[in-house]
Amino acid sequence: WLRTQKKLAFLDISNASISDTIPDWFWEISSNLSLLNVSFNQLQGQLQNLFDVAPFADVDFSSNLLEGPIPLPTVEIELLDLSQNQFSGPIPLNISKSMPNLIFLSLSDNKLTGNIPASIGEMMSLQVIDLSYNFLMGSIPASIGNCSFLKALDLSNNNLPGMIPVPLGQLNQLQSLHLSNNKLIGKLPSSFQNLSSLETLDLGNNELSGDIPPWIGDGDNFSKLRILRLRSNAISGEIPSNLSNLSSLQVLDLALNNLTGSIPVTFGDFKAMCREQYINQYLHYGKYRGLYYAESLVVNIKGGPQKYTKTLSLVTSIDLSSNNLQGEFPDEITKLVGLVALNLSQNRIIGKIPKSISSLRQLSSLDLSSNRLSGAIPSSMSSLSFLSVLNLSKNNFSGRIPYTGQMTTFEVSSFAGNPGLCGAPLVLKCPGDDLDKGGTIIDDSSDGFIDEWFYLSVGVGFAAGILVPMFILAIKKSWRDAYFSFVEKFVNSSVRMKKKRIAT
């Protein structure tokens, strides 16, 4: 039937469990298609190097098993999504000539190699460029800074070396920038302070160096910034105290760097973390005719990396682990009542955990391991009902572990490496503990009180059982006569039964 529909204008057979190659006759009917969506199937083989569709069409072949070189249309189109396939080879150098007015381009999650062509900067209508999860090499083209309508730029998870191009700071409509997991070097370009629409800045897992520039904490320029991820670089210096001016910030990841100094006391002023997040907002950018760039982020939470997409707006986390931070645990952090994850591990933080940590009611992951914290573990932590991951190991905590409430869900590994700790779940008992055979703690004063009440109640019960009937019988003559008559008959009957047994 489909083969005969040569005037078909819209074709959407996405998610239809089709597993086959695309037949040659299909391209005979495709020239009138303004919408071609065959995504989320299991289509195999190669596409024609030049394929026919209607001018300014939307073409979506994403999430299949297609391979070979990147195909190009014979006419201008506005949307091309070839993501999550097995396409290989370089991005065509003439991509801008074939699709000069393209608005949406996604080639992510393929096997593409070579350089990103500089001509991509000539496609000035682009709102989304997603080339992530490939094997692309060479420096990032500075010409991308000419794409002034760009909302989302994702070049993450490639092999891109060199410095971040200064002209990227011209993209004042850019909302999401992902350059993580590459080989980028140098400092953050000062031109980035012009990215006033930015909501996500992910530069993690590179080789960036220098200090965190103070302009990042400009609350006016970056009032919309939700996510700041500079994890796993070579960034040094102190954490700027004005980061707390980022009123929309929900995820701060500065882990695995060379940061020094103390945690700023201003960290208690992150407005978006000072309130509990109940309303989920699906973060997506560059939406055009039903397609968009879906924001996602890998957050190290709950003991390992977790990828969040549709629920990302509900995540609030601070990760400062694996640095050279020192000073005391800042009490001000306990003001962040919306915080879901806090990781300060592998630093040189001293002091005590404040009792007010129980204010972090949404906390599900807390890692303070490998520091120099001391004192008792606050009993108030037992009330953190959402806490599912806890690591307090390798510190100098002392005293009895408050093993009640939520704290009873954690094993020995959560407290190991603190010689001064005692009590469950550790094998080491606390001084003065008196255990019975079953291993339970006995309170002598409590048991004495119970024994006294036990014997008193038995005595009262015995007296009541004897005296109450006697009192009644003494008052009521007819009841007394009936009672003794019953007893006499019962005794006589018992004697007769005994005699019969003897006779037999």
pLDDT score, position 495: 37
Say yes or no to pLDDT of 132 above 90: yes
Mean of the pLDDT values across residues 438-453?
Answer: 38
Confidence class for position 179, pLDDT limits 50, 70, 90: very high
Long-range contacts of 137-144 (CB under 8 A, 24+ apart): 137/113, 137/161, 138/114, 139/163, 139/165, 140/116, 140/164, 140/165, 140/168, 140/179, 141/116, 141/117, 141/165, 142/166, 142/167, 142/168, 143/118, 143/119, 143/167, 144/120, 144/168, 144/171
Q: Which residues pair with 390 in a beta bridge?
A: 366
CB neighbour list of residue 7: distance below 8 Å, 6 or more residues apart: 32
Mean of the pLDDT values across residues 198-216?
Answer: 96
pLDDT score, position 29: 81
Q: What's the mean pLDDT when you consider all of the chain?
A: 86
Mean of the pLDDT values across residues 84-93?
Answer: 97
In a domain, 469, yes or no: yes
Distance of CA 327 to CAs 64, 214, 260, 341, 485, Å? 52, 21, 10, 21, 91
**Cβ neighbours, 10 Å, residue 196:** 15
Structure letter (DSSP) for residue 5: -
CB 272 within 8 A of CB 249: yes
**pTM for this prediction:** 0.84
Mean of the pLDDT values across residues 385-397?
Answer: 96
Mean of the pLDDT values across residues 339-346?
Answer: 97
CB neighbour list of residue 106: distance below 8 Å, 6 or more residues apart: 62, 80, 81, 82, 83, 128, 130, 293
pLDDT score, position 438: 44
pLDDT score, position 103: 95
pLDDT tens, 6-17? 678 888 989 999
Say yes or no to pLDDT of 504 above 60: no
In a domain, 476, yes or no: yes
pLDDT score, position 503: 37
In a domain, 385, yes or no: no
Mean of the pLDDT values across residues 61-68?
Answer: 97
Query: If we measure between CA atoms, which residue out of 322, 318, 196 comes closest to residue 258?
Result: 322
- Quickly tell me which residue has 């006779």 as its tokens: 503
Q: Record the tokens describing residue 362, joined without a space.
A: 């949404």
Say yes or no to pLDDT of 211 above 80: yes
CA distance 451 to 444: 11
Q: Record the tokens describing residue 143, joined without a space.
A: 């010409």
In a domain, 483, yes or no: yes
Query: If we measure between CA atoms, which residue out of 95, 85, 86, 145 comes closest to residue 115?
Result: 95
CA distance 196 to 499: 110
In a domain, 477, yes or no: yes
In a domain, 451, yes or no: yes
Enumerate helices (H) and strands (E) in the chain, giving the number of each. Answer: 4, 35
410-422 CB burial, b ≥16 within 10 A, e <16: beeebbeebeebb
Per mean pLDDT, which range of 17-31, 375-389, 426-440 is the poorest? 426-440
Confidence class for position 282, pLDDT limits 50, 70, 90: low
Say yes or no to pLDDT of 168 above 90: yes
CA distance 86 to 76: 24
CB neighbour list of residue 117: distance below 8 Å, 6 or more residues apart: 90, 91, 92, 93, 95, 96, 141
Say yes or no to pLDDT of 480 above 60: no
Confidence class for position 27, pLDDT limits 50, 70, 90: confident
CA distance 254 to 319: 6
Mean of the pLDDT values across residues 55-79?
Answer: 95
In a domain, 240, yes or no: no
Domain span at residue 474 reads: 446-503
Confidence class for position 284, pLDDT limits 50, 70, 90: confident
pLDDT tens, 370-387? 999 999 999 999 999 999
**Cβ neighbours, 10 Å, residue 299:** 22
CA distance 362 to 394: 25
Per mean pLDDT, which range of 24-28, 107-111, 328-332 is the poorest? 24-28
Report the range out of 39-43, 220-224, 430-434 with the highest average pLDDT.
39-43
Q: In total, how many domains does the chain have?
A: 1
Give the E-state strand segments of 52-146 in sequence order.
57-60, 65-68, 72-73, 77-81, 86-89, 104-106, 111-112, 128-130
DSSP β-ladder status, 234-238 and 258-260: parallel
pLDDT score, position 502: 36
